Amino acid sequence: MSLSLASFGNIILIFSSVLFCLSAIFALTGLSQIRFEKVSRALTLSGAIAGTVSILVLAMLLLTHDYRVQYVSHNADRTMDTLFLITAVWGGQQGSLLFWAVIQSWFAVAASYFTIKKLNHLARPVIALMSLFTLFFTLLVFTNSNPFTLSGHDLINGSGMNPLLRNPYMVFHPPTLFIGFAGFSVPAAFALGWLLKGNKDDRWLYSIRPFILFAFAFLTIGNVLGMVWAYEELGWGGFWGWDPVENASLIPWITGAALVHSSMAQTRANVLKTWNIFLIAATFILVIFGTFLTRSNIIQSVHAFSGATTAPYFLGFIAALVAGFIAVSIIKRDLLKSETEIEFFTKEWFFESTNWLFTAAAVFVWTATMWPLFHSIFNDQQLSVPPEFFNTWMIPIGITLLFFLALCTVIPWKNRKEQKSMISKTFAGGVILTIIIVTGFIYNSDTLVIMPTFSKYASLFSVAVLSFLAFTLLLSIRKSLISKNRVKLGGQIVHLGILIMFIGFTGGGFKSENRQSLAPGDFFMAGEYKVTFMGLRSDVNYKREAIYGDLIYSNSEGESKIVSPARFFYHSMPNQPTSEVAIEGGLFKDLFFILGETDLDTGHGVIEVIINPLIFFIWLGAIVMITGILIAAYKDGFLITALNFEESSFFTKKINIVSIVFSIILVTAGYLFAAAPGLIGGLIIVLLFLMFYIIYKQIRINNF
């Protein structure tokens, strides 16, 4: 039964690829027949359902511990909880690529049905391109990265998922990233479709802005969840180590942020058309490049997939995208000419300046990330770029960007006289407030006296700029509240969130670390805190062996508390211990306790205490920023009302009756075959029925 289930997963994956291939063919060849558009949409929807069935089949194989399937034996074991078995669907190399393919397929569905109500003249090229994008992923999964491949061995147990991934944040971190990645394929398809059609109507960018905001929101959430995971799981006291794979998701986020701003300038002032095409292309290409980097074996990273052989295919995809965008942009260059000249020191000028700064940041991170590879090609010795190098350059670039973004929000559109007046008032008020705050900061900061010269001036500069930004943002938020401009208010809240995050980043300049090797009863001072080592204790269960280091820490006021950082050794992977840190969080600082090397015979242990000031503001700023994105996106019913599924004609009374019947089957299966596998099995049946019904309905309507 299990072997046939794996074979069924392969068959349904092939079926999904065929449906998307047919969808692209119908969209490309239906030059004058509207019904071909409808068929293409139905095929796209059917292909997405088929892909969803394949991912559910993989979940079934993991939940039933079918270790004859190679992917299951490498990513699951019998000690893993149901939640982490489901997480294993996207926790491994092959499963994550299949998961991405399925998300990509649903974005193809969303884009195709979006064109019913809006931008119908772009329907065929968009459906064709989105189908081809999805086809690339499904074929790559089937031919090169197949999670349904059999191992040839009937194993009793598997090796299990990497212990570092057995964390609640990893349940959501990869899916949100993949949603963001796949989401940026939609503006890429519309941009290429608009250029290919040669239509001078610029409304397409305004119409697809919800897709851009949706993708950017999920990419932001994914990156933030990755930061939280790194902070709690990797055990080094930081949240962003400028690891190559971390940077691979940051670089498209930077260009995506530029696109969010630059697209607004085109829709409001009809400028920056070339910039927007460039940023759309760059963001999607960088998404694919990041995937290539993660699966290429050319970089060393805790996040990378080892043994992947998909790199040449992603390079080919990147080459095709680059060539396609360049060729079409050159041929249709007349479409990209702006009708309005950008004057110096206007709102449009500030928008263009932020584009240059965003691009500079992306180019810098990309170059510094790839520099060790370039160096190793021409030199025998290995080179690494330390995090301090990134921080030295990115912090001033980021603060300068914030400065320009703040002015973009407060300066009005078009009215040149009003723009000059607002700039003057903003500068005058902002400078006065900044001088007051910086002066107070200097006279009340004991830490500033003992800081190195560079850090001292960097902190003062950060405080000055952040004070000025706070003033300008409060001015613009007040104006938006009065005018009840929800979209503008959302953008300003995003900027406020980034400002709050930068307050947290500034706290890194005041970070302190203390590491000691202690015997039971020893103590040491970490800042104002006295940390006493009480000793080691061990604990063993069916999953892992744990070693805890019990500590008592007390502050200058005599208040004390017990914490117990630990190291876990999972039975399935005993050579990959995880550091289970103890974090005592507060509004203005976190106390971060780490247990290092231990000796159970002598009771000695290495204890590290890190004091992280203002970390809370990073997480608070991220929440505010994401909230602002959603507020800005929530316009005209957001995105879902623009998707017209009525045309597919399968939401009928018959389908409702059949859905009830199959729901009963689903519940019965769950009762008979254990909850999780049974529910998934019932869901597979329902989805298969819907898929075949859609195909049957189109054949009958169109008399094929």
**Region 83-100: what's the mean pLDDT?**
93
**What is residue 667's DSSP assignment?**
H
pLDDT of residue 157: 85
More reliable by pLDDT, 628 or 34: 628
What are 149-184's pLDDT values in tens digits?
998 777 888 888 888 888 888 889 999 999 999 999
pLDDT of residue 440: 53
Residue 4 contacts by C-beta under 8 Å, 6 or more apart in sequence?
A: none
More reliable by pLDDT, 392 or 134: 134
Whether pTM > 0.85 for this model: the answer is yes
Written as one letter, the residue type at 479 is K
- How far does CA 307 lie from the centroid of its chain? 23
pLDDT of residue 409: 73
What are 418-438's pLDDT values in tens digits?
555 555 555 555 555 555 555
More reliable by pLDDT, 407 or 685: 407
**Region 250-269: what's the mean pLDDT?**
92
CA 402/CA 23 separation, integer angstroms: 44
More reliable by pLDDT, 411 or 578: 578
- Indicate if the pLDDT at residue 537 is higher than 70: yes
What are 57-90's pLDDT values in tens digits?
999 999 999 999 999 999 999 999 889 999 999 9
Written as one letter, the residue type at 277 is I
pLDDT of residue 455: 52
Nearest residue to 93 via CA among 153, 158, 141, 157: 141
CA 291/CA 100 separation, integer angstroms: 11
Nearest residue to 475 via CA among 502, 461, 496, 501: 496
pLDDT of residue 153: 78
CA 695/CA 647 separation, integer angstroms: 13
Long-range contacts, stretch 663-671, CB < 8 angstroms, 24+ apart: none
What are 223-246's pLDDT values in tens digits?
999 999 999 988 888 899 898 889
**Region 339-346: what's the mean pLDDT?**
77
For 203-214, b where at least 16 C-beta lie within 10 A, e where not — what string? Answer: ebbebbbbbbbb
- Indicate if the pLDDT at residue 664 is higher than 50: no
What are 521-535's pLDDT values in tens digits?
999 999 889 999 999
Q: List beta partners, residue 610.
A: 513, 592
- Indicate if the pLDDT at residue 670 is higher than 50: no
pLDDT of residue 433: 53
More reliable by pLDDT, 355 or 372: 355
pLDDT of residue 452: 43
- Indicate if the pLDDT at residue 271 is higher than 90: no
pLDDT of residue 524: 92
pLDDT of residue 195: 94
pLDDT of residue 17: 94
Q: List beta partners, residue 604.
A: 599
- Indicate if the pLDDT at residue 442 is higher than 70: no
Q: What is the mean pLDDT of the chain?
A: 82
What share of the chain has pLDDT > 90, as a percent?
A: 44
More reliable by pLDDT, 33 or 181: 181
- Indicate if the pLDDT at residue 310 is higher than 70: yes
User: Averaging pLDDT over each range in 248-262, 565-579, 656-670, 682-696, which range is the top one?
Assistant: 248-262
pLDDT of residue 464: 67
pLDDT of residue 283: 98
- Indicate if the pLDDT at residue 678 is higher than 60: no
- Indicate if the pLDDT at residue 194 is higher than 60: yes
